[in-house]
Structures are given as C-alpha cells and as structure tokens.
Amino acid sequence: MMPRLKQTVEHIGVPRLIIAGFLAIIFVIAYLTDMSVPQLITDSLVRVGMNGILVLAMVPTISCGVGLNFGLPVGVLSGLVGALISMERGLAGFPGLLAAIVFAVPIAVVVGYLYALLLESVKGQEMMVGTYVGFSTVAVMCIFWLMAPFKNPELIWAIGGKGLRFTLTLGNHFGKVLNNFAVFQLFGVKISGGLLGFFLLFCLLIYLFYRTKLGIAMVAAGANPVFARSAGIDVRQMKAVGVVLSTVLAAVGIIIYAQSYGFLQLYMAPLMMAFPAVAAILIGGASLQKATISNVIIGTILFQTLLTTALPVTSRVIQGDISEVARLIISNGMILYALTRPTGGK
C-alpha cells in the first residue's frame, strides 16, 4: 500500500499536490464564507484562456534544448506591435483581432530568428542571456513607443501629438471579441467557448506540430544533440525553429491576453511577463528538458485559478492584499524547485 501511494505521489508530483491542496482549502473557505463558487470558477477560466498561449510558448524552447524561454518579452513586444498596427488602421472586432495576429506573426518570425542566432552564440547560458535580452528589449521598445510614427489620436497622448499612451483601451477595437464569443452556462459557470476554444485550438496545433517530421526532429535535437547530429539533423536549425515558434506563440499569446483584459499595456508592462508563464508550465509538471501540452493545460489551470481565487478569498480572512506576495513566493518557489531538481540535468 505504502509504496503504491508513494508512487502515485511521485507520479503526480509534490508541488502539484501542494498547490491542488491549497486550491481545495481556498474553495472550502469560499464555500463556507458564502462566496459564489461558480463565479470564482468563471473568473478562473477566463484567466486560464487569457494566459494559456503565453504558457504554451514555453514548450518549443524546452523541447528543442534551449530551456525555459525567459526572453518571452521579445515575442510579446512583436505581438504588441502587431496589435498596434491593427488599431492604427482602425480595425475592429474579429477582423481587428485577426489583423493583429497577421501583422504580428511575420515580425515575431524575424525577431525570433535573430533571437535564436543570439542564443546560439551564448550556448549554455541561454536562460540567463535570454532574461536580460528580454529586459533590454523592453527598455528599447519603451523608447520606440515614445518615438513611433503612430497617428491615430486614440493611441497617442492628447498633448504633444507624439508618443503612445501607457495603456490603450481595446473597447473600440478587438477588446473581448473572443471572450464574448460562444458563451454558454454550465452549472452556473459561464464558459467562454471562443476564448477557451482558441487556447485549445493552439494546443492542438502544437500537438500536431510535434507529430510532424519537423517536430520529431526538433525534439530529437533537444533530447540528444549528439545522436541527432549523427542522424543527419541540423541541431542548430532545429533550435532556431523552436525559438521562432516560441516567439510567435508569445506574440499571439499577448494579443489574446490583451483582448481578454480589454487593455493593451505598453512600456514597462511586458518586463516580467515571462515569469508567470515559466511558473505555470513548471507547476504543470514540466522540467527544464521536457514539457508537454498537458503540462501547459494543468499548470495554467492550477496557477491561474490559485491567483484568481487567492485575492477575493484570502481578503475575507487576512487584512491587506496578500495575493501579490503569494504570487511572488509561489511562482518563484516553483521555478527554484525546478532549477534545483537533480533530474534537471546539466
């Protein structure tokens, strides 16, 4: 009995059990304090759909051997530029959203390729360099936002006629178009079929990608570069494919995030975007070498539900906003756990 229990615990993973336990406690408190549990679940699901694709962006870099993509802001910024071009043209609704993605993807491909070239030359330090490349790109783009040639009065400062605003409202553009699409109720829980469907569609696309020849070659290059090279796979090129794919997913991810949030946040907002995504996939059970789509889905659900429910529930028990502190401790604790695991490899 005991070894079997131990095996099960190992299979599910200690951190997942702890966080699931946390969640259970939170929902019990919510139920006991007469909070609307369906409402909490509704909010959590929105957050899952909102952040899902950003978490999905971690999968390609992990499986191609680059590790966690701490340079996620690079892709996020490409997505923001795409969204801005769509907004500048005054597009709205689904065409606006689609245009944003269409404009963002080519930018992300180019930027991602350059980023891949850089990572190739700093082999072994990809995560560290990636973090700081992400940070410095955010700073460069801050200057770009101030100087960018956007003319739409909705986007730029009212005074001076130059420079984009800190936060742009998406209400007149593509705000919430997916969130409000195909909404249905289930046991009092409002589910946005559009938002969650879009997330699951991307999960499916990535899943299918890993079934193609290219996808299999990429995984092989990440898992065992020496073997892959002897099998005639261009490891360098496969890494580039992984990084570009991750950057593109980040670009699409931020557009979905922004449409769900209703606002496009510029300037320093993307700075720390990589960390919640990294934490989520690790909570889902990924390691530095291996990540699957199920890691993404489980991790996003656990982490985002925790974040969404922690604030309203704990505020009934504890004075002050402890959720921000909890987020810091849990997400970074999770990353630390992954980094210090003996199976983490070299």
Partner 1 sequence: MTQTHDKTVESRPTVSLDMRRMILTNGVPILFLVLSITMALVAGLNITFLLNEVVTRLGRNSLLVLSLLIPVTAGMGLNFSIVIGAMAGQAAAIAVTYWRITGVQGFLLACLLSTPIAAIAGWLAGNVLNRAKGREMITSMILGFFANGIYQLIFLFLVGPIIPLKDPAMLLPQGIGVRNTVDLINISQALDKIWRPVIGGVRIPVVTLLVSAGMCVLIGFLLKTKIGQNLRAVGQDMHIAEVMGIKVDKTRIIAMILSTVIAGWGQLIFLQNIGTLNTYNSHEQVGMFSIAALLVGGASTRRATIWHAIAGVILFHTLFVVSPLAGQRLFGVPQIGEYFRVFVAYGIIAVALALHAWQGRQVRRQEIKEAMLTE
Strands (E), 102-158: none
Binding part of the chain for partner 1, among 28-36, 130-138, 169-177, 191-199 by CB under 8 A, reads: 130-138
Tell me how far apart the alpha carbons of residues 266 and 295 are, in angstroms, rounded to a whole number: 29
Binding part of the chain for partner 1, among 41-49, 99-107, 233-241, 314-322 by CB under 8 A, reads: 314-322
Taking residues 153 to 192 in sequence order and writing x for each that binds partner 1 by CB under 8 A, - otherwise, the string is ----------x-----------------------------
Closest separation in Å from C-beta 124 to partner 1: 8
3-state secondary structure of 189: strand
Instruction: Out of 103, 115, 135, 198, name the contact with partner 1 by CB under 8 A.
Output: 135
Sign of the CA dihedral with 338 first, then 342, 345, and 346 last = positive
Residue 231 sits in the site that holds partner 1 (CB under 8 A): no
Please state the φ and ψ torsions of residue 215, each to the nearest 5 degrees.
-60, -45
Residue 343 sits in the site that holds partner 1 (CB under 8 A): no
Instruction: Out of 133, 178, 241, 306, name the contact with partner 1 by CB under 8 A.
Output: 133
Residue 329 sits in the site that holds partner 1 (CB under 8 A): yes
Closest to partner 1 by CB, 133 vs 241, is 133
| Closest residue by Cα to residue 256 from 139, 104, 154, 150 | 104
Instruction: Out of 124, 149, 153, 161, name the contact with partner 1 by CB under 8 A.
Output: 124
Instruction: Out of 275, 281, 304, 309, name the contact with partner 1 by CB under 8 A.
Output: 275
Residue 70 sits in the site that holds partner 1 (CB under 8 A): yes
Closest separation in Å from C-beta 275 to partner 1: 7
Closest to partner 1 by CB, 254 vs 279, is 279
Residue 36 sits in the site that holds partner 1 (CB under 8 A): no
- The interface with partner 1 within residues 76-95 (CB under 8 A) comprises none
Strands (E), the chain: 167-169, 183-186, 189-192, 263-265
Number of H helices, E strands in the chain: 14, 4
Side-chain half-sphere CA neighbours of 190 within 13 A:
13
Instruction: Out of 138, 191, 219, 244, name the contact with partner 1 by CB under 8 A.
Output: 138
Closest separation in Å from C-beta 289 to partner 1: 12
Sign of the CA dihedral with 296 first, then 281, 43, and 261 last = negative
Q: Which residues, other chains included, contact 52 with Cβ-Cβ below 8 Å and sequence gap of 6+?
A: 199, 202, 203, 253, 256, 296, 297, 300
Residue 344 sits in the site that holds partner 1 (CB under 8 A): yes
Binding part of the chain for partner 1, among 100-108, 201-209, 237-245, 318-326 by CB under 8 A, reads: 318-326
Cα separation values, 47 from 56, 192, 233, 258, Å: 14, 11, 39, 11
Q: For the purposes of burial, counting CB atoms within 10 Å of the CB of 308, is it exposed (0-12), middle (13-18) or buried (19 or more)?
A: buried
Q: Which residues, other chains included, contact 13 with Cβ-Cβ below 8 Å and sequence gap of 6+?
A: 285
Binding site for partner 1 (CB under 8 A): 70, 118, 121-125, 127-129, 131-133, 135-136, 138-140, 142-143, 146-147, 163, 267-268, 275, 318-320, 322, 324-329, 332-333, 335-336, 339-342, 344, 346
